[in-house]
Chains A and B, each alone.
Chain A
Amino acid sequence: MISERSYPYATVLPVMLVVALFTVYPLLHSVYLSLHENVLTRPLDNDFVGLQNFREVVTGYYFWRSLWSTAVFAVMAVAAVTLYGLGVALLLNQVVLGSALLKVVVLLPWAIPAVISGIIWRWIFDGDYGVLNGLLLVTGIVDRYVPWMSQPFSARLCMTVAHVWKQGPLAAVFLLAALQVIPAELYDAARIDGAGRWHGFRFVTLPYLKATLALVLIYETIVAVATFDLVYVMTGGGPADATAIIGWYAYTEIFRFLNLGHGAALAIILGGLLLGLVLVYLRALRAEEA
């Protein structure tokens, strides 16, 4: 029988072991890989090459292209998710029948795998048989099918729609939680002072939401930059690398070109990027708690 003194250690240990196994070693291993030549098609050349992998990655054409694609997607996705989330949160915070019903279904897209969200939207946007094209044709908005996923801009837009559909509910729930703690008296006071709906939103709601909005923005940036599943099933990085965001690029370096050194260097760069964002996030979180 475990004594009361050793009880806390016994309960924490199993969790610590699992987490440590998949944290400490992987980090060291990644750093090791990134500093060595490691191309699976040339298994015998395993020399220490210092920062050469990083240099090759950073000076490569595809790295900057993928950074650009990542930035474009992140801006589109974060803006869209935040605006949609805010809109849905404001709706959910109302006392009308529709909002009670919406509350029941709002989490559905969030609950299903990102892979499936990609499959669903890819089928909707399909250039040959997609239902979007079908509806637009029937209503006379287009007179022939449009290959939405074959042009860089519209492909990014399609991916953004799928991303918003899947990620929006979480942002909405976060913002709703913040909306619900705004004291109702503030709105009453604003109304007595002659403020309309817009002023109530502008001078009561927004200041109260500011901290949570900041958290949602940063969190959604992290999620958007790390997007992988959606690229894998929707576009495969195309067309013309328009959706080859950095997570996808690292994946192809590793599994298409079998260059583990490059892959690890890229992974560390991406990890650093995300870690930076996370630190900003934690600071914002602490600022909110204070």
Chain B
Amino acid sequence: MKPILITGTGVVSAIGLGKTETLEALLNGRSGVGPLQYLKTGHKEFPVGEVKLTDAEMRARLGIADDAITTRTALMGMLALEEALQDAGLTPDMLPNVGFISGTTVGGMDMSEQFYLDYINSEVHKEYIAAHDCGSCTEMTAQHFGKFAFVTTLSTACSSAANAIILGANMIRCGKADIVVVGGSECITKFHLNGFNSLMILDTDPCRPFDATRNGLNLGEGAAYLVLESEESAQRRGVKAQALLSGYGNACDAYHQTASSPDGEGAYRAMKEALELAEIQPFEIDYINAHGTGTPNNDVSESQAMKRLFRENVPPVSSTKPFTGHTTSASGSIEAVFCILALQHGFLPVNLNWSQPMEDGIVPVSQATKKELKHVLCNAFGFGGNDSSLLLSRPETAKHKTRDEVLSRVPRPEVPCLYVLSAKQISLQQPLSEKWMQEPIMYDTPFARSIDPSFKNYISPIEARRMGKILKRAVATSKEALKTSGLDTVDAIITGTGYGCIENTEFFLDALSNDGEQLLKPTYFMQSTHNTISSLVAIQTKNHSYNVTYAHKGISFDSALQDAWWQFQLGKIDSALVGGHDEMTETFYHILKKGGVMGKDEERCGEAAVSVVLSTSRHCEEGSHPELQPLCKLSGFHMLHQPTMNTLMDAVATMLQSAGKSLADVDFILTGMSGDHNNDAAYLQETKTLFGDKPLLQYKHLFGESFTSSGIGLYVAAQCLKKGRVPTSLFVKPDEVSDKQPKCILLYNRSDRKNCSLTLLED
């Protein structure tokens, strides 16, 4: 690939605020891990790497009022983002052309764990409810600086920030943005400190990665952002690269939900892919910043992966987690900034606290060493085996391709020709069927307490023991969609979920709030991370390919589809399983309604479980699977952040033009009207301006509203196109009901006032 420039960086962690303090600590071996100081918890026995500021001190630095709603994750994110934007010379007026992609898993849990019982029992603190989810944290961080062109949130546990960097790079390579700010933020919470404790992987001493006596990790916190920029844009702006992103890889270990495989399959594949994409040989790598958590399991697995790839010539390796603690979702970008500092200042960061070699392990860098570095790898691995590796290089290493080399790589067509091979959903108590087309479901309770037992066709009772309803549905719909797609395997598994496994989150919060910090069940914690869904699907289908999860409010499914779309466009994948999964519980329904997040007016709060298999024409038309019978074509997709009528009109026009269509070809507009009066009124007004008198359809009155229900919208439209009719129950206005055969349906998802998406489907 053509390297992407990194023109700005910002970082906050236990070793300092900003790059100057960070560099000084790295060079002098000054660790930020120590006794617990800021988090309110009874677990004083665990050393942690806290950012040395209270929330109030962070607010003061950022000029945020004491009573403004914010979270520690958002505050740390703002501190790091401020430095990155200044570093790159980006001013607020430029942000409408800049993307912002952030990774977090904790989101606003620091507030939710304090106020959980208030959320349930009183009206106090209810204004924090809407700040609970990951996407809200990202938006709070972004809004402090202005209006970005594109905003979304990756949530793949400890590799979240690394995957945000990968998405940003794909976005630039597709030509969708010149500048994207990428990274992640995560504060320590009582929730995940207790969660890691329930997994018995926290060390009561400072962590010792790759040491024979290592006995677990120390938790840390922090944030870091990188400004990724195309070469043309940097030239235009007259800014220099601090380093290059030359390659990256993402693979799934597909082994276990919390443990890494003994041979480090996912880690090996991720590093190998990064090298291949960069066209760099293993011997050219000068340093690896390992994930190196200090748990017995990670360090064995990662050592094996490095030995498999580099054989007897493993380059110098260190884990910088003894400096910062494990900064979980932010570690990918924090450690990428450490790597950039190492490239700029020519040194190998030391692996503190190491003294005894472990059996079959690598021997890390045990003292800070001056060394000129050209290419370095930075690893970040997450629960569920969501493994990613970034290849960072010094700016002068950019290879200047000859004209012939450039021409020999024919870029893919602007719009990929995609097919929806299959789409499966389970809604409410309904089994996997298309019955809704004949008899619309009417229900008293919009979400299910138990689910249809059809999942048992796909999951054995012993496998189901740790799966809540969301996981059962996700695995069942994914397996069914794969089976009916006709494909044996897919090149990517991409999932969207607004709130993730909230049933397990609720169980864990209940126990934490009512019984205290003792005897917490590890199952509830491990099943509470958002990426559990996608990684479990990979484990169940033995799929090692690209695997990520998006958690960004009402555009979580859309973000997953956007990721797939860009990768299709880059020619990285030929098929993908894209899922949208959300569940609801009585307690969270009550909480979210109180917080004004959903359930306004006549809006029915529902659940989503939809899995869609997409494929390029290569599979369908070029003979490898001539028997495939696609449901429909996916001809266009576009996402907008804080749209205006003008940007929306432009987006519609561009999308139709790229697909070779005009508005006259569109038969129906499928809206996400949900019963929220204000939002529905805006839908009616906007669709009139955008699409004139096109007949309007809706589906949320049947399926309910959930954060990923736009996936259900895609499913509904695909079924209508395949069956060649639109059920009467979908028409918004009785006088628009017709038996016209649909040839082209445009989905307009306007999830809230901040985000929307457009999807064009044809028969």
A binds B: no
